[in-house]
Each structure stands twice: as structure tokens, then as C-alpha cells.
Amino acid sequence: MDIAANAATVWIYVAAGAVAIVVIAAIVVFLTPLWDVVKRRIFGTEPEADVISLEGMLEEGGRPLSALVTVRKTIVDMAAEERVNTRKLLDYVIAQAWNLGASDVHFTPTADGMTLQLRIDGLLYDLAMFSREVMASALIRLKILSRLNPYKRDVPQDGRINVDVSQSLDVRISTLPTIHGEKAVLRFLSKAGRFLTLQDLGIDDWTLERYHGLITRPQGMVLVTGPTGSGKTTTLYSSLDAVKNRTASHLNIVTIEDPVEHELPFLNQTQVNEEVGLTFAKGLRSVLRQDPNVIMVGEIRDKETVEIAVHAGLTGHLIFSSVHAESSPGVFARLLNMGIEPYILASAVSCVLGQRLMRKLCPACREEVPPSNHEIEQLGKLGVTLDPDEGPFFRSSGCARCFDLGVHGRTGIFELLVVDDVVQEELVKEVRTKEMYRAAVERGMRPLIDDGFDRARQGVVSLEELLNVISSS
């Protein structure tokens, strides 16, 4: 009797316990979203971000799944479903953007909805149009993924998204209020395997050898120039990599960047942060107190920065930087305009590397074409004389391998202005940029147009691309 009663009591306790566990679990599940809201109200924190996993969406080795047309159709179909699965849609967009080799994904609000665009090899391609509802839920998901405040729509925000592919992938997100609503841009930054050595950039052997000689000196300034998007930062990173590999001694290599575009293990990288007063100039001053050998300043755009950089370049440091100018000698005019004395510039700068990026023809669908009269005329204006029967030259109309784009990847073209005795004299005399350019070419500088024309003759790029790149800058 007692035993039976005890057994019954035990069973009652077990049952009560089980019910209690179920009730508590239900309350926890029910309250978790509420807890996020409460936490946000009380502590101002955001819901935990999760990670996008693209593993199942990529073929082995990251090979493309399908051509641009198919990607477009799939995205349009997904966005047109009655209940749009935003998570699935965004995962697909990001996976395909990565697959297609895009550098940026733009979510651009328009008067009626949103345009989704990809930047591939420097050009923007429209992928799809979305409704306002899809746009709104996509933005919320992107902001939660990147730990941004999803409820703030009237201020710009910057963040990161963790994307899990077979390699480390750093995706930055920035949002900006526009007249039609918030615009978001995703940027793929740290792409393992996409880091390029100087040889990979497309610098011809002769120029490369001279450049190598200049960048492995213990001091001086090495400046890279070209318009926005001409690959200056990539060249700077590749140059630092070359310095590290060519110099036997252990060097303290420090960078000040805005933004840090690639995280590289052999560098000490500092991000400019204007909000807290960490400018290029201030960062550079602090770096100089830390016993550096080599310093990379992302960009020189003000007098203070150039003054400190020049001084550092004259006192035992090797300085790398970029300056926005139209031609290699144009860099000097830009720096003189900032107020630097010509004789100081003449002794500090070792060389200026001018560059542009050109989109390479897809080798799979490339076909021979004679140069058009227009192209012959335009080339003539740039100093390249061409016979109508010279060639062959090439163009591509697109195939499945190049996602119907006709182009695949990019190559750089370069001109190297070495600051020798003659350039030093010209600088001190403040010779005009055009004359300095002519004199440099006479003494052996291969101009950008010649480097690019060689690439067209080799069938790497089209004449059309060469003329676009040279005349648009």
C-alpha cells in the first residue's frame, strides 16, 4: 500500500515536472522575440545577427552555376512569389553575385520600387526590379544580418555581414538615405585567392623590373595614380607584398587606409576614422612614432598629409601612396598645388606609376574584326598610327562562359615615370605637365596608350575598350 502510494506520488511529481518543462520551454520560445524588443528598448541593442551560409549554393571550386540570364530569371521568379522568402532570395542574390565575380551589389530605391544591380569588372549590370515591399523586407534582413539598426532609416550606416563560403569572405554593407528611400550597397572585400602579385597585375617585364628596383630602396616616395576604380589600391597592396618578399630583413610595414580594403597578415593596418579625429595626417603622425620601415597611406589629398609623408620619405622611410591625377606627371602639379616646395618634392619622390584597368575579352567567344575608321581616327589623335589592314584585332559578343558579357576579368595598363636627374631639374624649374610628359616619353617612359595598344594587338582587349578607358580619363 505504502509502496504503491509512494510510486503514485513519484509519478505525479514526474508528470508535474514534465508539464513544467514544456510550459517553461513554450514561454521561452514565445518570449524570445519579445525579449529582443524589450532588450532593444532597454539596452538599445539589436537582435543577434546570424550568418549566411552559401555552402549548398556553390558548385565545387566556386564554379559558376548558370549564366546571367538564368540568374536574372530565378531572382525575378523568387521576388514575384505570393509570399516572398526574403532570406532565400538574399542568400541566392549574394551567392550568385559572388559566383559571377561581382565586387558590389546595389539595392537602389526608385520611384516605384527597387533595382538590384551588380558591379562586375567595373561596370554596373541591372539584375532585377523589386516591389517596395520586397525592398523593405530585404533591407531589414540585410541590416539585422550586419547588426545595423533596422529602424533607423534617415542616417547612413556601415556594417559587415558574415558570409560563410568555402573561404573567408568579408562583405561590407553601407546604407544611405536617398530621395526615394534607403539605398544599400554590399561590397565584397577580402577575397582569399583574389590577392594579386605585381606580376598578376599585367605590368610588362621591363617596367616591372624598373619598378621593383625603385620600391626596394630603403626610403623615398612611390606614388600610384589613376582615376577612381583604376586599381590603385590593389597595386599598392601588391607592391607592399613585393617589398616584403624582396627584402631579406624583417620590416615593420604599416598602412593607414580609408577603408581597409583587404586584410593582409603581414601588414599593420589602420582604418581612418574621421569621427574620432583619426585622419590620414593624424594616423601618419602616430605611425611615425612606432618605428616603421614602410608606410602605405591610402590616399594623399591634403597639404598636411603630403607634408608629413614627404618628410618621412626623406628621413629613412619608404612611403607608398596614391594621388588622384590624370597622368603620371600630373601628380606633381597636384602636389605642388597643395603647397609643397618643388625642390622638396624632387628629392622625396622616387617614381610615379600611372594606371588604368581594362576589361579583358572572353577567350571563348572572341572573334577577329578589322579596326573601324572611327577607331583609326581616335587612335591617331592619341598618337598611335594604324594602317586599315593592320591587325588582327578582336571583339567578343558573349557566350555562356562569360555570362553573355563578352568580357571576363580585367588587366592593368601602366606607365612608369622615374624621377631621375632630369625630372628633378624639371620639377625645380616647375616645367608644365605636358612638357614633362613629352620629355619623359623621349627618355623611355612607355605611355599608357602604347601599353594598352599592345594589349589590343595581342587580342587581350578590344580597341573599343582601350579607347573608352583612355579617353574617359
Min dist. Cβ of residue 394 to Zn ion (A): 12
The reply to whether 69 sits near Zn ion by the rule CB under 5 A is no
Residue with smaller CB distance to Zn ion, 64 or 231: 64
Three-class SS of residue 113? Answer: strand
Which part of the chain contacts Zn ion (CB under 5 A), choosing from 46-54, 296-304, 395-403, 426-434?
Answer: 395-403
Residue with smaller CB distance to Zn ion, 370 or 409: 409
Min dist. Cβ of residue 362 to Zn ion (A): 3
What is the dihedral sign for C-alpha 127, 132, 134, 140? positive
C-alpha dihedral, 230 to 441 to 454 to 333, nearest 10°: 10
- Nine cell digits for residue 151: 529602424
Cell 616619353 sits at which residue? Answer: 441
Residue with smaller CB distance to Zn ion, 72 or 244: 72
For the chain, helix, strand, coil in percent to 5 are 45, 25, 30
Residue with smaller CB distance to Zn ion, 120 or 139: 120
Cell 517596395 sits at which residue? Answer: 132
Min dist. Cβ of residue 92 to Zn ion (A): 24
Site for Zn ion in 357-386 (CB under 5 A): 362, 364-365
Site string for Zn ion, 399-438 (x = CB under 5 A): x-xx------------------------------------
Residue with smaller CB distance to Zn ion, 285 or 395: 395
- Nine cell digits for residue 81: 512569389
Which part of the chain contacts Zn ion (CB under 5 A), choosing from 73-81, 148-156, 354-362, 375-383?
Answer: 354-362
Which part of the chain contacts Zn ion (CB under 5 A), choosing from 106-114, 136-144, 277-285, 356-364?
Answer: 356-364
Say if CB 435 and CB 427 are below 8 A apart.
Answer: no
- Nine cell digits for residue 402: 562569360
Give Cα separations from 410 to 154, 234, 265, 280, 434 (angstroms): 37, 12, 25, 30, 29
Which part of the chain contacts Zn ion (CB under 5 A), choosing from 52-60, 84-92, 138-146, 394-402?
Answer: 394-402
Min dist. Cβ of residue 367 to Zn ion (A): 10
Residue with smaller CB distance to Zn ion, 172 or 366: 366
Q: What are phi and psi of 286, to 5 degrees?
A: -65, -40
- Nine cell digits for residue 26: 513554450
Residue with smaller CB distance to Zn ion, 67 or 335: 67
Residues with Cβ within 8 Å of residue 236, at least 6 apart in sequence: 224, 296, 298, 320, 321, 322
In DSSP notation, 339-362 reads: T--HHHHHHHEEEEEEEEEEEEEP
Question: Is cis: bond before 47, omega within 30 of 0?
Answer: no
Site for Zn ion in 101-140 (CB under 5 A): none
Min dist. Cβ of residue 370 to Zn ion (A): 21
Give Cα separations from 157 to 143, 209, 278, 318 (angstroms): 9, 44, 19, 35
Residue with smaller CB distance to Zn ion, 118 or 297: 118
Min dist. Cβ of residue 312 to Zn ion (A): 47
Site for Zn ion in 238-297 (CB under 5 A): none
Min dist. Cβ of residue 67 to Zn ion (A): 10
CA–CA dist 89, 174 (Å, integer): 19
Residues with Cβ within 8 Å of residue 345, at least 6 apart in sequence: 310, 332, 335, 336, 427
Residue with smaller CB distance to Zn ion, 310 or 358: 358
Min dist. Cβ of residue 400 to Zn ion (A): 7
Min dist. Cβ of residue 401 to Zn ion (A): 5
Number of residues forming the site for Zn ion (CB under 5 A): 6
Binding residues for Zn ion, rule: CB under 5 A, are 362, 364-365, 399, 401-402
